[in-house]
Amino acid sequence: MISYMRFIVIFKKELLEYSRSKKLVAVLLIFSFFGIVSPLTAYFLPDIMEHFTKSQNVNIDIPAPTYDDAVFQYIKNLSQMCVFILILMNMGIISGEKEKGTAVFLLVKPVKRSSFILAKFSAVFTITVTSICLSALFTAFYTFLFFDTLNIFNFIVQNLLITLYILCVMSITLMFSTIARSQILSGILTFFMWISFSIFAQFGEIGRYSPDGLISAAFTFPTTGQIFPESIVLTALIILLSIVVSLSVFEKWEPK
């Protein structure tokens, strides 16, 4: 019970730190921006393309945009731009505290090392999920506004898949932040792993065993109705493994 209370104290501190450092505002604004821009881009892309091609006397037939294009754009932005920004924001969340000495400030007090790590994961997960929800709400609203349609069930499933994918990348970010001695090293390792997922996903059927299989599933779900359970299981295992490795590494960590 006391350990749980301390976990809550550190979890609240994490959220407060996010808020005070303006990271929270930044991440919410960025996700909101992509949530708004995705359906707008899909809707106006034919007009934009027509404007450019006309000036060069080229005539290309661009099909009228659909609701699927808006969601497609949304998934693409979330899985690329937003993930990139989240990695940058969180790569120093543990290694930074080790470098600055604030980890020692807490660990010399009656705080379990596991509480410290789990509070970090929980805070990052909470902020990530909140940001995705906000982004999804904006996308849903503007998609409905411009395309007069929205398959809510499909959209929820697509969001769940993409959320699991982003949480997986965040888990890896936090794991490397625990292992690495510096923020830069943890960032490099995370980006390397993130790119590896994308490369692995290119290997046909085997690629489904990459977390990137979730993005493919999110793209194709409205037409195929398939969610690639192997990707879901593997991604969940990677999240779990990242937490276990972080807990184990941090338990043995000795400040220099």
Chain contacts with another protein (rule: CB under 8 A):
2, 5-6, 9-10, 13, 17, 20-21, 100-102, 104-112, 254-255
Q: How far apart are CA 113 and CA 203, in angstroms?
A: 39
CB of 126 to another protein, least distance (A): 19
CB of 96 to another protein, least distance (A): 11
Closest by Cα among 76, 9, 17 to 41: 76
CB of 31 to another protein, least distance (A): 23
Nearer to another protein, 94 or 161 (CB): 94
CB of 16 to another protein, least distance (A): 8
Rounded to a whole number of angstroms, the CA Rg of the chain reads: 20
Chain-centre distance of CA 190, in angstroms? 13
Nearer to another protein, 6 or 208 (CB): 6
Nearer to another protein, 69 or 97 (CB): 97
Nearer to another protein, 115 or 143 (CB): 115
Q: Which residues contact 10 (CB under 8 A, 6 or more apart)?
A: 106, 111, 115, 116, 119
Nearer to another protein, 225 or 255 (CB): 255
Q: How far apart are CA 172 and CA 98, in angstroms?
A: 18
- Token pair of 219 as six digits: 């793209």
CB of 102 to another protein, least distance (A): 5
Judge contact between 179 and 92, C-beta under 8 A.
Answer: no
